Amino acid sequence: MKIACIGGGPAGLYFAISMKLRDPSHEIEVFERNAEGVTFGWGVVFSDQTVENLTANDPKSAQIIASEFAHWDDIDVHIKGECITSSGHGFIGIGRRRLLEILHDRARELGVRLHFEAECDPADPKWKDYDLVIAADGANSRYRDAHHDEFGVDIDVRANKFVWLGTPKVFEAFTFAFEETEHGWIWAHAYRFAPDCSTFIVECSEEVWRNFGFDRMSQEESIAACEKLFAKYLDGHALQSNASHLVGSAAWLNFRRIKCDNWAVGNVILLGDAAHTAHFSIGSGTKLALEDAIKLAEVLNRPGLSRDAALFEYQAERNLEVLKLQNSARNSTEWFETLHRYLHFEPLQFAYSLLTRSQRISHENLRLRDREWLEGVERWFWKRATEGRSNKTAPPMFAPFKLRAMELENRITVSPMAMYSAVDGVPNDFHFVHYGERALGGAALLFTEMTCVSPEGRISPGCTGIWNADHVAAWKRIVEFVHSNSKAKICLQLGHSGSKGSTRLGWDGNDVPLDEGNWPVMAASDIPWSPANQVPTPMTRADMDRVRDEFVTAVKMGIECGFDMVELHAAHGYLLSGFLTPLQNNRTDEYGGSLENRLRYPLEVFRTMREAWPKDKPMSVRISATDWMGEEGITPDDAVAIAEAFRNEGADLIDVSAGQTSTEAQPVYGRMFQTPFSDKLRNEGRLATMAVGNIYEPDHANSILAAGRADLVALARPHLIDPFWTLRAAAALDYRDVHVPPQYLNGQTQLARNLKREAEAAAALRV
């Protein structure tokens, strides 16, 4: 094939090398607009896996590259006059210019023709003479932009400003340096990539950038200001820019996250940053580009594979890896963009939060990297959790937590889960076994399913309720068993279905109306949940008074049952959530319109519940922190205001869920996918939160808690299949202070032994 590679960076050069290695008869030319030896950017960071991939693809160039790597293990986090150092991270890097020199030599050796100072016009007809044109011309790709719509380009310009500099100061650790100025916080990412040079990236919010005056400075003035600001880290060394072609403040950039629906249009194929970008804070751009090049060369040279099939496989496989890294990069990017959330943390927790920001590094992964450092974090966490009474070295998930007078044994809770198994609202033997078994399983706090305050407030005929003496007797039996046979506390979640009521049992069709026996539904407005559901009657003030009083009656019955805590369900599109979200509330009276007005009735209900509930017992509120509908619905910023409003009325905990408020919502799923909302509410609203949403491993729980993203962690589906999830986690983590029912002690001890033997055997195999 006759191939033109547009762009002489690592992506284009390595693709040319990879193609020649597989078939020397390919005619390949690389066109680079800059002169040879001119490059932008300083160091390139690699992972061990990338080195393995390079070695398998081309051992000769990989050996040269690896022999010139700079190696370092430590990360230093400088914040508020302290330096927090953790080790075992195993970074390797090389200068971008030196990497290009190695790839130039290897490409020429294999017969690739290199053209420098070649201004390539996408409209030039000569490109039609090539079988393939590889657009490896970076994030600002002209070839991609020439076919913007066909490639389906999606560009997200991020909020922060950054400038990519270098310095002869050699940083022996990957260094994060956070400095508070009179204009706000500015920070640096610095790392060594050669014996005599380091990358030094300076970052800040755009507001700070403007207030500091960087937008009005020349490059020289801007660099001088950064040298002065970070003088104590530079030890007299200068900062340097290799972006001399840029003028004025243009040396400062906003990162652009790029992704494309299609990676091939006609004979043009996107490669590397032209197709996708990952934020510099996770250092994976060059890794992705080189691995793109390897995969594309492999499929294009595979015997019997058509070009269309080859390109389909190339994009399908590589796009999956890109999405994984872009998700991690998004988490990392947002951490730096919302730095203000974490500045109240103590330096040790701040560093932990920084290290785990992308979710690629977890609690146990940090233990493997630097056990001593992580155990210091655990001791700090326990000391804080016990107000100085204990500084034991143990996982955060087992630390106690107190809400008013209620003391929890650990931080694990069993989420509310609809069982659809009640008769006329009365919980039965199924519920007795369901809640009793999970209470024995070690979780500190159990939530009932949404228990409805009236017959018409039920979601389905199978939902539990609490509005008469039969309900009280049945719930009291369950609560007494929990208290008599475990150390768990139990919370009564109260709700009203609103427009989502009068539907079939969950397994007979989600939100599907009953075939017969439907009861009328009411809501904030006459907006049906879906075209298939009833049109609800908008609530009058008399309706609102009656429902409010039903909630209060339910609270009083909860006291009679002996519940330890009450939660108000104001999420998921049910009655009170329907008042909160503009998607379901189009009222024109004092209960509609502004968020303040939409909050009015839910707050009224909560306030009267709080007045009826004992002062020494806690209350929580479940909210949907986003409608997953952009600015049309509840946004995370709205959720902070909602959470603060309930906190001000006496809520002790916000149960942070999301969505289920519109059939048109577009949620973004993934592991721990709702935890960022808990993080935001907790650290911007300065209130206690419970994280929910696809949390299923002890490692998830410990990472969330130690990083200050939540105070409690709720698991639903894991507890469905394994009521003893918490005890199993304790055995796996060799934590022995957890309460185990005496009847089950032998089983717990044997499980711990078996898991320990398995771990030792696995370690021996690794050795």
CA nearest to 623, candidates 644, 592, 597 = 644
Tokens of 728: 């199993």
Length of the chain in terms of residues written: 767
Contact yes or no for 446/413 (Cβ under 8 A): yes
Other Cβ atoms closer than 10 A to 261? 12
Residue 272 φ/ψ region, left for φ over 0, alpha for ψ in the -120 to 50 degree band, beta for the rest: left
Distance in angstroms (rounded) separating the CA atoms of residues 391 and 414: 26
Instruction: List residues bridging with 619 in a β-sheet.
Output: 566
Q: What is the DSSP string of 374-426?
A: HHHHHHHHHHHHTTTS------GGGS-EEETTEEESSSEEEPP------BTTB
100, 13 in Cβ contact below 8 A?
A: yes
Q: Is 140 left (phi over 0), alpha (psi -120 to 50) or beta?
A: alpha
744 is catalytic: no
* Among candidate residues 408, 502, 515, 416, the one with its CA nearest the CA of residue 455: 502
Q: Which residue has the tokens 């030039």?
A: 124
The distance of Cα 11 from the centroid of its chain, to the nearest Å, equals: 29
**725-732 vs 745-766: helix axis angle to the nearest 10?**
50
Dihedral angle over CA of 106, 111, 116, 118, nearest 10: -140
Helix (H) or strand (E) holding 470: helix 469-485
The β-bridge partners of 199 are 166, 191
Does residue 570 sit in helix, strand or coil?
strand
Dist. CA 306–CA 318, nearest whole Å: 18
- Of these residues, 14, 574, 601, 735, which one is catalytic? 574
Q: What is the CA radius of gyration of the chain?
A: 30
Q: Tally the C-alpha atoms within 13 A of residue 638's C-alpha that lie toward its C-beta.
A: 24
Whole-angstrom distance, CA of residue 220 vs CA of residue 233? 19
In sequence order, which ranges of 126-218 are alpha helices (DSSP H)?
Answer: 142-145, 148-151, 206-212
Report residue 80 as tokens.
């508020």
3-class DSSP assignment, residue 714: strand
H/E stretch holding 224 = helix 219-229
Q: How far apart, in whole angstroms, are the C-alpha atoms of residue 11 and residue 136?
A: 6
Residue 731 CB partners (closer than 8 Å, separation 6+):
748, 751, 752, 755
Cα distance between residue 734 and residue 89, in whole Å: 25
Q: State the catalytic residues.
A: 574
